[in-house]
Amino acid sequence: MNDTSDRPEPRRRRDSAASKRRLLAAAADEFAARGIAGARVDRIASAAQANKRLIYDYFGDKDGLFDAVMDVNMDKVIEANPMDANDLPGYAGRWFDYSREHPDEMRLFDWARLELRLGPIALGKRTQSYRRRLAAIEAAQREGTVSARLSPEQILMVIESLCVGWLSTTPPFLAAADTHTPERRNPQPLLGNEGELSRAREVIVDTVRRLITS
C-alpha cells in the first residue's frame, strides 16, 4: 500500500507561493505610498487578504519584506531597461517612458535611498547592472561611437539623473497622477499634456545625443 501522507504538500506549496505574491504586491503599494517607516504590516496583510503572521513567517519582519519587494522590483527595472551603448539617446528615451509609466516603482527606489535601506541581494543586482553598463559605455568610447570627453560614470549619471530624477522635480500634472491613495491599488499614470511630455522626452533624448557626440 502506498504512503499518501505527503500528498497535500504540493497544494501547500502552491498556497504559500500565492500568499507570498499577494503580500509582495500589497507591500509594494504600501511602501510606495508611505515608505518603510510609515508602512504598516496590518494594512499590507489586509490588502493581501492574508494573515499578518505570514509576513513574519515568510520575510522575518517589515524590513525583510521591504528587501523582498526591492529584490523583485530591481529585477523588473533591470529587465525592462536594457542598455545599448551604441544608442544611448534611445536608452534615455526608454528610461523616460518607463519612469513616467511606473511612478510607484520609482518611488520605491526613492524610499530606499532616503531611508538608507537596500538589502544585499538588491544591492548586488544593482551593482552588477551598473558595472555592465559602465563597461558597455567604455567599450563604445574605445570604438569611437561615444565621446570620451566624459567618463562612463559621468555619462551614466547624467542620463539617469535626467530620466529618473525628473519625476521628483516635474510638476505633478506633467509627471504622474495624483490619484495614488493608500486605499487605491494599481494607480494609473496621468497622461497630462501629451504635447509637453513629448517635448520633455525630446529634450532629454537630444541632450544625451549632444552629450555623447560633443
Indicate whether 40 belongs to any domain.
no
Per mean pLDDT, which range of 6-10, 116-120, 156-160 is the poorest? Answer: 6-10
Residue 108 corresponds to which amino acid? Answer: L
Indicate whether 18 belongs to any domain.
no
pLDDT digits (tens, 9 = 90+) for 49-64: 999 999 999 999 999 9
Q: Which pLDDT score is estimated for 31?
A: 97
Q: Which pLDDT score is estimated for 9?
A: 53
For the residues 68-90, what does the mean pLDDT come to?
A: 94
> Domain of 75: which CATH number?
1.10.357.10
**In terms of residue numbers, what domain contains 183?**
67-213
Q: Which pLDDT score is estimated for 193?
A: 61
Indicate whether 41 belongs to any domain.
no
Indicate whether 15 belongs to any domain.
no
Per mean pLDDT, which range of 10-19, 92-101, 167-176 is the poorest? Answer: 167-176
Q: Which pLDDT score is estimated for 204?
A: 93
Per mean pLDDT, which range of 10-19, 41-50, 64-73, 155-164 is the poorest? Answer: 10-19
Contacts of 55 (CB under 8 A, 6+ apart): 23, 41, 44, 45, 61, 62, 65
CA–CA distance from 63 to each of 52, 99, 138, 185 (Å)? 15, 25, 36, 21
3-state SS assignment for residue 56: helix
pLDDT digits (tens, 9 = 90+) for 105-137: 999 999 999 998 989 999 999 999 999 999 999
Q: Which pLDDT score is estimated for 74?
A: 94
8 A C-beta contact, residue 72 and residue 62: no
Indicate whether 127 belongs to any domain.
yes
Q: Which pLDDT score is estimated for 153?
A: 97
CA-closest candidate to residue 65, choices 103, 24, 97, 32: 24
Measured between alpha carbons, how far is 90 from 208 in angstroms, rounded to an integer? 9
pLDDT bracket for residue 184 (50, 70, 90): very low
Indicate whether 33 belongs to any domain.
no
Number of domains present in the structure of the chain: 1
Indicate whether 202 belongs to any domain.
yes
Indicate whether 11 belongs to any domain.
no
Burial state string for 162-187 with b = 16 or more CB within 10 A and e = fewer than 16 = bbbebbeebeeeebbeeebeeeeeeb
